[in-house]
């Protein structure tokens, strides 16, 4: 094999790896969205200054966060809907690579602050509505 052929084979293999990775990310995103709406967001844990980019899913009983770089379909972090509270979004936009414009809000529970979330401003009303509505099976016999 000549040097040019070796370079072509290496470039082809690299392109195939990138294409396979993109297809796997697309399949993972479809699998995640099959169980509830998914939107891009970032999370910052208490005591940390670093935002981690990921996907937020609203399921019937919990708020799930998935790392954007992982291949697993199980959530990296999960917060139970019961007892969860979110603050109003900050007035200033947060600059996070991967999110066009984002507002930050704080998730809190009975044990205190759980995490900070950065969401696109148009996603916040959906998360607030999800949190304030009754979970399935709750209050069905209310008169």
Please tell me the distance from the alpha carbon of residue 79 to that of residue 76, in angstroms, as a whole number: 10
**Residue 139 confidence (pLDDT):** 58
Low-confidence ranges of the chain (pLDDT < 70): 134-143
pLDDT recorded at residue 17: 97
Residue 137 is predicted with a pLDDT of 63
Query: Looking at residue 90, what is its pLDDT?
Result: 84
Please count the other Cβ atoms lying within 10 Å of the Cβ belonging to residue 56.
Answer: 24
Residue reference for tokens 């990775």: 21
Its pTM stands at 0.79
pLDDT at 5: 94
Query: CA-CA distance, 128 to 72, in Å (whole number)?
Result: 27
- Continuous H helices in the chain: 3-33, 124-132
The predicted pLDDT at position 113 comes to 79
pLDDT of residue 118: 93
Residue 26 CA to its chain's centroid (Å): 14
For the 35-132 domain, the top CATH level (class) is: mainly beta
Ranges of each domain in the chain: 35-132
């Amino acid at each position: 094999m000549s040097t040019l052929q070796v370079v072509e084979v290496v470039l082809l293999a690299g392109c195939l790896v990138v294409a396979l990775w993109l297809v796997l990310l697309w399949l993972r995103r479809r699998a995640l969205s099959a169980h509830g709406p998914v939107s891009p967001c970032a999370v910052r844990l208490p005591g940390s200054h670093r935002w981690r980019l990921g996907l937020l899913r609203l399921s019937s009983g919990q708020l799930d966060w998935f790392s954007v770089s992982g291949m697993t379909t199980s959530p990296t972090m999960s917060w139970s809907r019961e007892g969860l509270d979110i603050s109003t979004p900050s007035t200033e936009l947060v600059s996070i690579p991967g999110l066009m414009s984002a507002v930050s809000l704080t998730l809190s529970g009975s044990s205190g602050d759980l995490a900070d979330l950065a969401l696109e401003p148009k996603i916040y009303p959906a998360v607030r509505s999800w949190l304030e509505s009754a979970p399935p099976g709750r209050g069905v016999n209310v008169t």
